[in-house]
Protein backbone atom coordinates (compact mmCIF):
# COMPACT_ATOMS: atom_id res chain seq x y z
CA UNK A 1 0.00 0.00 0.00
CA UNK A 2 1.32 3.43 -0.95
CA UNK A 3 1.64 5.88 1.94
CA UNK A 4 2.12 9.61 1.46
CA UNK A 5 3.29 12.22 3.97
CA UNK A 6 1.26 15.24 4.98
CA UNK A 7 2.94 18.40 3.70
CA UNK A 8 2.26 20.26 6.95
CA UNK A 9 2.54 17.90 9.93
CA UNK A 10 4.53 15.03 8.42
CA UNK A 11 2.12 12.21 9.36
CA UNK A 12 1.68 9.33 6.96
CA UNK A 13 -1.59 9.28 5.00
CA UNK A 14 -3.23 6.03 3.91
CA UNK A 15 -4.28 5.49 0.32
CA UNK A 16 -7.73 7.03 -0.25
CA UNK A 17 -7.58 9.33 2.77
CA UNK A 18 -6.72 13.00 3.10
CA UNK A 19 -6.82 15.81 0.56
CA UNK A 20 -4.58 16.60 -2.39
CA UNK A 21 -4.10 20.21 -3.50
CA UNK A 22 -2.39 21.00 -6.83
CA UNK A 23 -1.04 24.50 -7.34
CA UNK A 24 -1.07 26.29 -10.70
CA UNK A 25 2.66 25.60 -11.13
CA UNK A 26 2.07 21.84 -10.74
CA UNK A 27 3.24 21.47 -7.14
CA UNK A 28 1.29 18.77 -5.28
CA UNK A 29 0.49 19.30 -1.58
CA UNK A 30 -0.97 16.49 0.53
CA UNK A 31 -2.99 17.12 3.70
CA UNK A 32 -4.06 14.53 6.27
CA UNK A 33 -6.82 16.68 7.79
CA UNK A 34 -8.60 19.99 7.58
CA UNK A 35 -6.52 21.12 10.57
CA UNK A 36 -3.36 20.93 8.45
CA UNK A 37 -5.02 22.48 5.40
CA UNK A 38 -6.30 25.45 7.42
CA UNK A 39 -2.91 26.02 9.08
CA UNK A 40 -1.27 26.30 5.64
CA UNK A 41 -4.01 28.74 4.56
CA UNK A 42 -3.31 30.87 7.63
CA UNK A 43 0.36 31.05 6.64
CA UNK A 44 1.69 29.14 9.62
CA UNK A 45 5.15 27.59 9.43
CA UNK A 46 5.34 23.92 10.51
CA UNK A 47 8.59 24.52 12.43
CA UNK A 48 6.71 26.88 14.77
CA UNK A 49 3.70 24.64 15.50
CA UNK A 50 4.36 22.26 18.39
CA UNK A 51 2.39 19.22 17.22
CA UNK A 52 4.23 18.83 13.89
CA UNK A 53 7.20 16.58 13.16
CA UNK A 54 9.21 19.59 11.94
CA UNK A 55 8.96 21.18 15.41
CA UNK A 56 9.97 17.91 17.05
CA UNK A 57 13.09 17.70 14.84
CA UNK A 58 13.98 21.34 15.49
CA UNK A 59 13.63 20.80 19.23
CA UNK A 60 16.23 17.99 19.30
Does domain 4-51 sit in CATH 2.30.170.20?
Answer: yes
Per-residue pLDDT of the chain (60 residues), as tens digits, is 789 999 999 999 999 999 999 999 999 999 999 999 999 999 999 999 999 999 988 887
Asked whether 34 and 41 are in contact (CB, 8 A), the reply is no
Report the predicted TM-score, pTM, of the whole model to 2 decimal places: 0.85
User: Which residue in 28, 35, 30 sits closest to 15, CA to CA?
Assistant: 30
Residue-range domain boundaries for the chain: 4-51
Rounded Cα gap, residues 24 and 48, in angstroms: 27
Give 16's DSSP letter: T
Amino acid sequence: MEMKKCSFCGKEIELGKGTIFVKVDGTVINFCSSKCRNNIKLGRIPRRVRWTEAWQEKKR
